[in-house]
Amino acid sequence: MLTILAIVPLIAAALISAAMHKRPKKIRYIALAASIISLALIILSYYNASQLQSLAWFSFGNSIFAITTSTAPLNMVLLLILGIMTPLIITYSIGFMRVPSEQSRYYSELCIFTAAMMLFAMSADFLTMFVGWEILGVTSYLLIGFWYRREGTAEAARKAITIMLIGDVLMLAAMFIIWGTYNSFSFSVLLQHANAPSPFVEVALLFIIFAVFTKSAQFPFHEWLPDAMKGPTPVSAFLHSSTMVKAGIFLIAVLLPIFIAYNLLNIMLAFGIITVILAVTNALSSLHIKRVLAYSTLEDLGLMFIALGSGSLIAAMMLFVAQTFYKALLFMCTGSIIKSNDGEEDLTKIRNWTSSLNIFIPTMIAVVSLAGLFPLSGFFGKVAIESAAGNSTLYIALVAIAFFSNIYIFRWLFLPLNKKEEKSQAGSTYEYRLLPKSMLIPIYVLAILVPLASLTYIYLPGFLSVKGQAITITEVAASVAVVAAGLLVSYFMFYKGRRVATTGIAYKILHNNPVVNGFYSYFAAAMAAISAAIDGFDYGLYDIFKAGGRGIGAFANLLKRMENGSVNAYIAALLIGLILIAIILIV
C-alpha cells in the first residue's frame, strides 16, 4: 500500500509529460486524479497502523540497503494532512495557473514534489528519509523559481537551494556517523541506543539539528523562506502548510527521545525563540502581502521548536496540525486577492475586498484562528505550547509574542481596508466575484476545516497530558483578551490612524531582514576570501613542487651527459666519488 502511495504521483508526472502536447487541457486533471487516489490510499493505510514495510534497494558487501516505510501514528498524521491538502492545492491551481505553456511543467514538478514529501512522511530510516529530503530540495528549487523570468525569482530559488545544501551536507555527515556507530540507518535502532550515549552520535545529532534548521527555516537560515514568496501562490500555500518546511519538525518529533537523552533540547529552544522574535518584528514592518504570511510561518515553526525544546511532543504536533489549515486558507485567500488586483502585492495598494463575502469571511476565519481566538484550532495549538513552557519567564514571553503576532496579522487585514472602495472606469464597484470556482471551492472547504479541526483537540487524549487539566475559563478569557488587545491596537494604528512607516529607527529595528541578508553577503564574501587564500596556497605549493621537479629533471639531464662511452671519464668519476666518500667518513 505504501509503495503504491509513493509511486502514484510519479506515474502522474510521467503521464503529464507524455500528454503535454497531445492533451494539454487534461494535464491538470491527471494531477488531481492522482492526488485523490493518494488520499484514498492514505485512508486505507490506517488499517495497517504501526507496521514497518521494507523494499530491498541495493547491496554493498554484506550490507543490504532498503526503502523502509512506517505507518506509525506520527507518520500517519503527516501523511493525512498531506493527503488532504494535495487535492485542494491542485484544485486551486486549476484556476490560478491559467497560462497553457506553464501547465505541464508546473503540474509535473508539483507531482514529483508531492511524491518526495509522501516518501519522507512515511520513512522509517535515514536512507529513505534522505531520498525524500533531497528530492524535496530540488523540486522546491524548481517551484520557487518557477517564474524564473521575473525579477528576483531566480535569486530566491538559488538562495533556498544553497541554504538547503548546507543542511544536506550536515545530514549526510550525520548519516555516515550513525552508520559507522550502529551499522544501521534505522530510526528505531538509533532510539534503542538512547540510554548508551556516544560522543560520535552526539556530534551526529548536532548535525541533524542544524540540517533541520535549514529545511524548516530557523535562525540563522530563515531568510530563504520570505524570499520564496516569488513562487506561485499555490506553491506557497503547499510549502507553508503541510510540506517541506514541516519536514524538519517531523524528523525532530520522530527522534525526540534521543535528543532528550543527549540533553540537546536547549539548542532547539534557544534558536526557536530567536526565530520567533525575528519573524514577529519583520511581520510588523513588511508591506508585502505574502511576505507577512511567510514571517507568520516562521513564527509558527519557531513555536513548534520551542515546544519540542520544552520536551512536549503533543504541544508541537497540535500546532503542527492546526497551522496546516489556517495557513493554507490564508495563502489561498491571498492568492485570490492578488489575482483580483492584477498581481498587486503591496498591502497599501490592494483594493478593499470587504464587499466580497466569499473572500472576506474565509480570510477572517483564518486570521482569527492564527490569532488564537477560542474555539478555533489556532487557540488550542497556542495554549498547548504556552502550557508546555517550562518556566514563568518563557510563558510570559510566549504571551507577549502572541500579542504582537495579533497586531501584525490584524495590521495585514486592516491595511487594505483603511481606504474607500475604489470604482472601476465604468463606475461600478470593483468586485472579487469573478474568480474561477476551482479557486473558491478549496477556500470554502478550508474555511470549514479550520473550525472543525478544533473539535479534534477537545477529544484528543494527549491534550490533557500537556495541560494536566481541562481548559479553564481563565485561559479562554486570557486568549480573548490578547486577541482583543491586538485587534484594538491594530485598528487604531493601521485602520483609523493609517500609520505605515517605511523609514526611521523603529522601522530599521523591526525590519531586520536587510541585516540578516547583509550577514549572508559578508559570510559568503568571507568564505570566498578563505577559499581564495586556500586556492592561492594550493597553487603556491604546486609551484614549489613543480620547481623542485624541474630542478631534479635538470640535474638528471646533467648526469645523463656523463654517460658518453668514455672509459677514462668513468674512471675519473669513480675516483672522484671515492674521494668524496672518504672525506665524508673523515668528517
Residue 466 confidence class, pLDDT cut points 50, 70, 90: low
Measure the CA dihedral 369/371/377/381, to 10°: 160
pLDDT for the residue numbered 24: 64
pLDDT for 471 equals 67
Q: Per-residue pLDDT averaged across 398-408, rounded?
A: 92
Would you state the pLDDT for residue 429?
44
Residues 202 and 260: beta-carbon distance below 8 Å: no
Angle between helix axes 73-96 and 233-241 (nearest 10 degrees) is 170
Pair 551, 499 in one domain: no
DSSP β-bridge partners for residue 58: 65
Residue 402 lies in a domain: yes
Whether residue 185 has pLDDT greater than 60 = yes
Q: Are residues 439 and 582 in the same domain?
A: no
Q: Tell me the CB-side half-sphere exposure of residue 535, using CA atoms within 13 A.
A: 6
Residues 536 and 485 in one domain: no
Same domain? 478 vs 553 = no
Tell whether the model's pLDDT for residue 428 goes beyond 80. no
The single residue listed with the C-alpha cell 550515549 is 197
Residue with cell 499555490: 234
Among candidate residues 244, 240, 432, 241, the one with its CA nearest the CA of residue 338: 432
- Looking at the domain assignment, is residue 226 inside a domain? no
pLDDT at 329: 94
Q: Which residues contact 297 (CB under 8 A, 6 or more apart)?
A: 217, 225, 240, 245, 323, 327
The residue among 233 and 557 whose pLDDT is bigger is 233
- Residues in a beta bridge with 429: 423
Is residue 225 within 8 A of residue 278, CB to CB? The reply is no
- Please check whether residue 222 lies inside any domain of the structure: no
Count CA atoms closer than 13 A to 275's CA, side-chain side.
31
**Cβ 336 vs Cβ 359: under 8 Å:** yes
* Range 39-43 average pLDDT: 89
Q: Is 184 exposed, middle or buried (0-12, 13-18, 19+ CB in 10 A)?
A: middle
Give me the pLDDT at residue 269, please. 94
218-243: average pLDDT: 90
State the pLDDT at residue 119: 92
What is the C-alpha to C-alpha distance for residues 282 and 229, in angstroms, rounded to an integer?
Answer: 15
Q: Is residue 368, in this structure, part of any structural domain at all?
A: yes
* In-domain check, residue 309: yes
Residue 502: predicted pLDDT: 66
pLDDT digits (tens, 9 = 90+) for 513-564: 888 888 888 888 998 999 999 999 999 999 999 999 998 888 888 777 777 7
Would you state the pLDDT for residue 50?
Answer: 60
- Mean pLDDT, all residues of the chain: 86
* Statement: residue 354 has pLDDT above 60: yes
Does 20 map to a domain?
Answer: no
Which of the listed residues 485, 511, 537 is the one where a domain comes to its end? Answer: 511
Kindly state whether residue 131 falls inside one of the protein's structural domains. no
* DSSP SS3 for 389: coil
User: Stretch 242-247: mean pLDDT, rounded?
Assistant: 88
- CA 446 from chain centre, in angstroms, equals 22
* Measured distance CA(302)–CA(296) in Å, rounded: 10
Where a domain ends, among 456, 476, 511?
511
**Backbone φ and ψ of 57, nearest 5°:** -115, -65
* The C-alpha cell that represents 190 in the structure block: 538509533
Tell whether 568 is covered by a domain: yes
Q: What number is the average pLDDT over the span 273-279?
A: 94
Number of domains in the chain: 2
Which residues constitute the domain of residue 378? 264-511
Those residues with Cβ within 8 angstroms of residue 579's Cβ, 6 or more apart along the chain or in another chain:
none
Residues with Cβ < 8 Å from 86, sequence gap 6 or more?
35, 38, 39, 114, 238
For residues 419 and 319, membership in a common domain is answered with: yes
Give residue 205's pLDDT band: very low, low, confident or very high (50, 70, 90).
very high
Q: Whole-angstrom distance between the N-terminal and C-terminal Cα of the chain?
A: 86
Q: Is the pLDDT of residue 49 over 70?
A: no
Residue 264 has pLDDT above 90, yes or no: yes
The neighbouring-strand residues paired with 578 are none
Q: How far apart are CA 412 and CA 422, in angstroms?
A: 19
The answer on pLDDT for 327 being more than 50 is yes
Question: Which residue in this structure is represented by grid cell 506509525?
Answer: 72
Co-location of 312 and 434 in the same domain: yes
Q: Are residues 487 and 539 in the same domain?
A: no
Q: What's residue 467's pLDDT?
A: 57
Pick from 453, 478, 511: which residue ends a domain?
Answer: 511
pLDDT of res. 509: 77
For residue 512, give every residue at least 6 positions away whose Cβ sits within 8 Å of its Cβ, in sequence order, or none. 278, 281, 282
Pair (358, 425) in one structural domain: yes
Is the domain of 540 the same as that of 491? no
Q: Across residues 276-305, what is the average pLDDT? A: 93
Same domain, yes or no: 499 and 541:
no
pLDDT bucket at 332, cuts 50 / 70 / 90: very high
pLDDT number for residue 203: 95
Mean pLDDT over 330-346 rounds to 88
pLDDT tens-digit map of 449-459: 998 887 777 66
Residue-wise pLDDT tens digits, 83-111: 999 999 999 999 888 888 888 889 999 99
Task: Give 286-312 as a DSSP string.
Answer: --BHHHHHHHHHHHHHHHHHHHHHTT-
pLDDT of residue 427: 39
pLDDT at position 39 over 80: yes
Residue 426 has pLDDT above 50, yes or no: no
In the predicted structure, residue 258 carries a pLDDT above the cut 90 = yes
Return the pLDDT at 469: 55
The CA–CA distances, whole Å, from 422 to 341, 353, 417, 419, 427 equal: 11, 10, 11, 8, 9
Instruction: Report how far residue 233's alpha carbon sits from residue 255's, in angstroms, rounded to the nearest whole number.
Output: 32
- Mean pLDDT computed over 391-411: 90
Say yes or no: 446 and 422 in one domain: yes
Confidence at residue 478, expressed as pLDDT on a 0 to 100 scale: 84
Residue matched to cell numbers 477556500 = 443
Over 80: is that where the pLDDT of 470 sits?
no
Q: What is the DSSP string of 13-76?
A: HHHHHHHTTT-GGGHHHHHHHHHHHHHHHHHHHGGGTT-EEEEEEEEETTEEEEEEEE--HHHH
| Greater pLDDT, 301 or 27 | 301
Residues 403, 543 within the same domain = no
Range 417-429 average pLDDT:
50
What's the per-residue H, E or C state across 331-354? Answer: HHHHHHHHHHCCCCCECCCCCCCC
Q: How many percent of the chain have pLDDT more than 70?
A: 91
